[in-house]
Structure 1
Amino acid sequence: MDAVEERSGGKIGFDVAWGQSIAAYPEVDDALADGRLDLAYTVPVYFVAEYPRIDAYNKLSQYVSGSPLAGEAAMQAQMSEAAWNDPELLEEYTSKGLVPLNPMVTSGNYWTACGDEGTALDDWQGRQIRIGGSVQTPIAQNLGASPVSMEYGEAFEALQRSTVDCIFVQGMVAGSTGLLEAAPQVSTLGDERFTGAVTAGHVAGSSFEALPLAYRQILFDAAGIDWTHGVTAAVVGSSVDAVADVRAAGGEFREMDADAAEVILSTQREIAEQLVADGVVDASVRDGLVESGARWMERAAELGYEDGGELSELDRWYDPEDVDFRPLAEEAFRAGALAHRPA
Structure 2
Amino acid sequence: MVTMRGSRGAKTCCIAIGLAGALTLAGCAEGEADRAESGSGKGVAYGATIEQYKAAFADVSPITLHTQTPAPKGSATGKNVEDYLNAITEWSDGKIKFDVAYANAVAPPAEIDNALQDGRLDLGQVLPIYEPTDYPANAALIETSFVSDQSVVVGALQSNAWPLEVAAATPAITKEFEDRGMKLLMPLYNSGSNALFCNSKRRDLAALKGAQIAAGGQAQSKEIAALGGSAASVPYTELFESLERGVVSCSVSSLTVGVLGGFIPAAPHVVVDPAAGFALAPGAMAVSKAAWDKLPLAGQQLFYDRLDVFIKGNIQDKIWPNIVEASKQVGKAGGSIDTFADDARAAIQQANAKLLDDLRANKAVGDGNAFVDRVKSASDKWLKTIQNDLGYKNETDYNGFGTWYTPGKVNLDPYVKKVYEEIFLPRRPDA
- The normalised TM-score by structure 1 is 0.94
* Larger proportion of helix: 1
- Identify if the C-alpha distance between structure 1 residues 217 and 182 changes in structure 2 by more than 3 Å, giving closer, same or farther: same
Separation in 2, partners of 1:338, 1:152: 36
Separation in 1, partners of 2:364, 2:192: 24
Of stretches 128-137 and 333-342 in structure 1, the one that deviates more from structure 2 is 333-342
Separation in 2, partners of 1:160, 1:203: 36
Root-mean-square deviation (Å)? 1.7
Is 1:77–1:328's contact at 8 Å kept on the other side of the alignment? no
Is 2:229 the counterpart of 1:145?
yes
Give the Å deviation of 1:138. Answer: 1.1
Give the Å deviation of 1:280. Answer: 5.1
Identity %: 28
Q: State the secondary structure of the residue aligned to 2:218.
A: coil
| 1:146-197 C-alpha deviation (Å, 9 max, x unpaired) | 10123323212211221111000112212333321211001122x2141422
Give the Å deviation of 1:203. Answer: 0.8
Q: State the secondary structure of the residue aligned to 1:15.
A: strand
Of stretches 253-262 and 300-309 in structure 1, the one that deviates more from structure 2 is 300-309
Q: Which among 310, 333, 339 is matched to residue 420 of structure 2? A: 333
Is 2:314 the counterpart of 1:231?
yes
Q: State the secondary structure of the residue aligned to 1:208.
A: helix
Is 2:286 the counterpart of 1:203?
yes
Of stretches 315-324 and 82-91 in structure 1, the one that deviates more from structure 2 is 315-324
- Identify if the C-alpha distance between structure 1 residues 82 and 198 changes in structure 2 by more than 3 Å, giving closer, same or farther: farther
Higher relative contact order (CA 8 A, sep 6+): 1
Separation in 2, partners of 1:114, 1:127: 10
Q: Which among 360, 370, 381 is matched to residue 295 of structure 1? A: 381
Structure (1 or 2) with the larger CA radius of gyration? 2
Tell me which amino acid in the other structure corresponds to 2:202: G
Separation in 1, partners of 2:414, 2:238: 37
Separation in 2, partners of 1:215, 1:341: 11
- Identify if the C-alpha distance between structure 1 residues 182 and 247 changes in structure 2 by more than 3 Å, giving closer, same or farther: same
Separation in 1, partners of 2:392, 2:120: 39
Is 1:188–1:255's contact at 8 Å kept on the other side of the alignment? yes
Tell me which amino acid in the other structure corresponds to 1:271: L
Is 2:236–2:261's contact at 8 Å kept on the other side of the alignment? no
Match of 1:318 in 2: 405
Give unpaired runs (5+ residues) of structure 1. none
Is 2:333 the counterpart of 1:249?
yes
Match of 2:115 in 1: 31
Give the Å deviation of 1:35. Answer: 2.0
Of stretches 97-106 and 320-329 in structure 1, the one that deviates more from structure 2 is 320-329
Give the count of matched residue pairs. Answer: 341
- The normalised TM-score by structure 2 is 0.75
Is 2:276–2:348's contact at 8 Å kept on the other side of the alignment? no
Q: State the secondary structure of the residue aligned to 1:320.
A: coil
Give unpaired runs (5+ residues) of structure 2. 1-84
Match of 2:124 in 1: 40
Tell me which amino acid in the other structure corresponds to 1:305: Y
Is 1:81–1:333's contact at 8 Å kept on the other side of the alignment? no
Match of 1:306 in 2: 393
| 1:182-224 C-alpha deviation (Å, 9 max, x unpaired) | 11001122x214142252101111212111111111112213x
Tell me which amino acid in the other structure corresponds to 2:424: A
Separation in 2, partners of 1:88, 1:219: 22
Of stretches 294-303 and 131-140 in structure 1, the one that deviates more from structure 2 is 294-303
> Deviating runs (4+, > 4 A) in structure 1?
278-281
